[in-house]
Structure 1
Amino acid sequence: MKSIQILDAKHHVGETVQIGAWIANKRSSGKIAFLQLRDGTAYFQGIVVKSEVGEDVFQLAKNLSQETAVLITGEIREDSRSKFGYEIGISGIEVVGESHDYPITPKEHGTDFLMDHRHLWLRSSKQHAIMQVRSEIIRATYEFFNQNGFIKIDPPILTGSAPEGTTDLFETNYFDQKAYLSQSGQLYMEAAAMAFGKVFSFGPTFRAEKSKTRRHLIEFWMIEPEMAFMHQEESLEVQEQYVAFLVQSVLDNCDYALDVLGRDREVLQKYTKLPFPRISYDDAVELLQKNGFDDIQWGDDFGSPHETFIANSFDQPVFILNYPKAIKPFYMKPHPTREDVVICADMIAPEGYGEIIGGSERAIDHEYVLEQIKAHGLDENEYSWYLDLRKYGSVPHTGFGLGLERTVTWLSGIEHVRESIPFPRLLNRIYP
């Protein structure tokens, strides 16, 4: 007998097949039992009719408990009443693994309870859909960069210095010296770009910020491209093309997940229209001040309410260009006509999801970069290899970093970033 996955049911209508699944829920009505089945690819309904299977199988179906693992035999049928469109008429059931007193029931549960049971919460239909969106974004990322001539390079996770020049680092002992969990692979990607031209990395990063906002994780994944012989405007074009590609890929390949999440496809489709709008930091501050944000002054970094208002003013992802030099890292290229700003841009997602990309053109003058390293109180010796990049064939180059989890949160339309990663690491939470 042919074994199939639920997602492939549409290809087997009228066939008798076997499916390995778990019981997500069940109900019975007289002489019919309805089993909600899941197998990791999708959910659909199995129907057990007493007169067709006999007393033993029918009673077994009625007594199956939530999350019991089973092998189901039956005929695939079309089901116009469900969004999935198919069901299975069950003729046989074999229990593979019993489940008793499953803690996550169809009733409401508090966030702390669900987070404590994250290893089980992942089985729910909403969490399943979010992970499908995440997986598609990862797949599409590799497709986009491979199609556009990038080479994947893996920067180290253990580093001896801080790319962002902050103290929010996880420190560890590296034999007889200090080391840190990486907060960004960017500096190493600059070295890679000088060797390969166009590169990207995709890996875990860590920030020891004691933040509890809905946008922050302690451990998260970053996509960090770096491009030699490229200026900022060209980089912005790559960024908007990449994001539009991700959105379209989710629309094309996550239909079932978007249904489960209740995500409005017309809203997402707007985010594929290029180019994305651009606004300077100067004009963004003025826009905010004219609309009642008296707390913001030139030189301040934007908070969540500020970013949300700016993005909502355009109803699309928007680039904010050229932030003050004082609030940005040491490696950004200074503006050619102003000393107070650098050539950089953040992409702000609409609908209140905030910054999803940060990028800049990189400073390439050896003496300027050395001066900035000293001005930021960093150890020149720790960055000697980075300074070498400015000594041996330095060229204009630019890059950016996209936060995977923030992008998943935005495209899924969920409220909190903690649901965008399988096992979130949050302030005071490292279990499970």
Structure 2
Amino acid sequence: MKPTISTIGRFVDQEVTIGAWIANKRSSGKIAFLQLRDGTGFIQGVVVKSAVDESTFEQAKSLPQESALYVTGTVQADDRAPSGYEITVTGLKVLHKAKDYPITPKEHGTEFLMDHRHLWIRQPRQHAILTIRHEVIRATYEFFHQEGFTKVDPPILTGSSPEGTTNLFHTQYFDEDAYLSQSGQLYMEAAALAFNRVFSFGPTFRAEKSKTRRHLIEFWMIEPEMAFVEHEENLQIQEQYVTYIAESVLRNCPQALAALERDTSKLENIQAPFPRITYTDAVAWLQEQGFDVTWGDDFGSPEETAIAEHYSKPVFITHYPKAIKPFYMEPDPENDEVVLCADLIAPEGYGEVIGGSQRIADESLLEANLEKEGLSSEAYAWYLDLRRYGSVPHSGFGLGLERTIAWLSGTEHVRETIPFPRLLNRLYP
């Protein structure tokens, strides 16, 4: 196997050659220290003047940041190094000498860094966050495969919406209106009635004019949908999934978590089962805490944060009023004013990371809800077909990838949890 920084531990006391870039460097007369990166990780290369020829040492001292090169040297175990290893360099071959790299080792403003996002993702902190993103995605596929789910891809261009078209991006689809999808849920319901348990993973779009640290215009969603699954089992599967990805990040991303100085005890505490509180009880508790909220109001960030801080784990808020939830949610058979749904609120102020519910299985009730919402039964005819031909109790949920990564990595703003964020005022780069 060709050596990389991520696999360097397999080559202790051996001479290797790796392709790398200079992330940073420093020198002290007789020794040059190169902070090297190769895309798989970071490692220090030590160049001792007495051990190399004069040209090599001068290159080590003078090569600018982000110059590309082949580095030859011997791998040494070093407990003091973040990676546990370093390279004693014996030779350098310069591939490209960078000039005036804009992101120098100093403080830069966020807008400057966002303008240079194509370069910013090379930095150790950004690399760590996106490494955790990769692990969450990898663990997601692994979890759902192990649990017997089939991956199904819903369309991105749609003629209708699960939650109305108010916040959707509109486009022309030849001679008719179309929208960029804000959720694949309705299509996943069709897939669930064909494959039993399914999940999708893909981009979604919401034209919300929000500038909060929790919002992106384009973001990625994991949306499982399950036939013959009711509200309680739906919550249990969510608990198992979130616990699984948290454990995977802890187990497989120790260096990334260390680079982010993440308090891993917070992640170790993400263990099922999660506490639950009904919306009605949450309103009463918030009122006791002095919040100006009445039954029927939707919760905002301050309310969600206060509720989450009351618990040491993620918390489910269940049974919201049907008036503030989408048309497809199943009413609670014991209280027609609320629906069988739940939002999973992450601790540490990260807010809602999952929204889910049991879906309406009765054709007449679904049709009445569509009419009440002013939605065309013709546009949703295919969705109504699912209740006409073999309807069963079914449930699902959607997990927002970027919010989840922000929470697990301890990152303040979701813009750093996606390689190239799309924000209210940003379409570049």
* Structure 1 position 137 matched with structure 2 position 141: no
Per the TM alignment, residue 83 of structure 1 is displaced from its structure 2 partner at its CA by 2.1
Aligned residue identity for 2:131: Q
Q: Where in structure 1 are there 5+ consecutive unaligned residues?
A: none
- Tell me, what secondary structure is at the counterpart of 1:315? coil
Superposed counterparts of 1:18-37, under 5 Å: 18-37=17-36
CA distance in 1, matches of 2:420, 2:363: 42
Superposed counterparts of 1:347-386, under 5 Å: 347-386=344-383
Aligned residue identity for 1:138: I
CA distance in 2, matches of 1:31, 1:329: 68
Superposed counterparts of 1:398-413, under 5 Å: 398-413=395-410
Query: 1:285 maps to which residue?
Result: 283
CA distance in 1, matches of 2:388, 2:79: 67
Off by >3 Å, runs of 4+ in structure 1: none
Per the TM alignment, residue 265 of structure 1 is displaced from its structure 2 partner at its CA by 1.5
Query: 1:199 maps to which residue?
Result: 198
CA deviation string 1:203-234 (max 9, x = no partner): 10000001000000000000000000110100
CA deviation string 1:132-178 (max 9, x = no partner): 10000000000000000100000000000011114101011101101
Query: 2:166 maps to which residue?
Result: 167
Query: 1:40 maps to which residue?
Result: 39
User: How many residues of Structure 1 are paired with residues of Structure 2 in the alignment?
Assistant: 429
- Tell me, what secondary structure is at the counterpart of 1:173? strand
Superposed counterparts of 1:412-423, under 5 Å: 412-423=409-420
CA deviation string 1:321-357 (max 9, x = no partner): 0101111000000111222111100000001000000
Per the TM alignment, residue 81 of structure 1 is displaced from its structure 2 partner at its CA by 1.8
Query: 1:310 maps to which residue?
Result: 307
Query: 2:71 maps to which residue?
Result: 72
* Structure 1 position 335 matched with structure 2 position 332: yes
Query: 2:121 maps to which residue?
Result: 122
CA distance in 2, matches of 1:21, 1:230: 50
CA deviation string 1:174-206 (max 9, x = no partner): 011010000000000000011110000001000
- Tell me, what secondary structure is at the counterpart of 2:112? helix
CA distance in 1, matches of 2:185, 2:2: 46
In the superposition, the TM-score normalised over structure 2's length comes to 0.99
- Tell me, what secondary structure is at the counterpart of 1:35? strand
In the superposition, the TM-score normalised over structure 1's length comes to 0.98
Aligned residue identity for 2:43: F
Query: 1:388 maps to which residue?
Result: 385
Query: 2:425 maps to which residue?
Result: 428
CA distance in 2, matches of 1:375, 1:176: 28
Query: 1:13 maps to which residue?
Result: 12
Aligned residue identity for 2:284: E
CA deviation string 1:278-335 (max 9, x = no partner): 0000011111111121x21111111111111101101110000010111100000011
Query: 1:113 maps to which residue?
Result: 112
Query: 1:93 maps to which residue?
Result: 92
- Tell me, what secondary structure is at the counterpart of 2:375? coil
- Tell me, what secondary structure is at the counterpart of 2:336? coil
CA distance in 1, matches of 2:200, 2:2: 38
Superposed counterparts of 1:207-246, under 5 Å: 207-246=206-245
CA distance in 2, matches of 1:301, 1:106: 44
CA distance in 1, matches of 2:79, 2:251: 22
CA distance in 2, matches of 1:185, 1:258: 32
CA distance in 1, matches of 2:388, 2:55: 80
CA deviation string 1:225-270 (max 9, x = no partner): 0000110100100000000000000001001101101111112100
Aligned residue identity for 1:355: E
* Structure 1 position 297 matched with structure 2 position 286: no
- Tell me, what secondary structure is at the counterpart of 2:337? coil
Aligned residue identity for 1:123: R
- Tell me, what secondary structure is at the counterpart of 2:144? helix
Query: 1:275 maps to which residue?
Result: 273
Per the TM alignment, residue 425 of structure 1 is displaced from its structure 2 partner at its CA by 0.3
Q: Where in structure 2 are there 5+ consecutive unaligned residues?
A: none
**% of aligned pairs identical?**
66
Per the TM alignment, residue 3 of structure 1 is displaced from its structure 2 partner at its CA by 4.1
* C-alpha RMSD over aligned residues: 0.8
- Tell me, what secondary structure is at the counterpart of 2:168? coil
- Tell me, what secondary structure is at the counterpart of 2:65? coil
CA distance in 2, matches of 1:375, 1:106: 58
Per the TM alignment, residue 78 of structure 1 is displaced from its structure 2 partner at its CA by 1.3
CA distance in 2, matches of 1:77, 1:3: 17
CA distance in 1, matches of 2:277, 2:249: 27
CA distance in 1, matches of 2:80, 2:227: 54
CA distance in 2, matches of 1:337, 1:234: 18
Aligned residue identity for 2:299: F
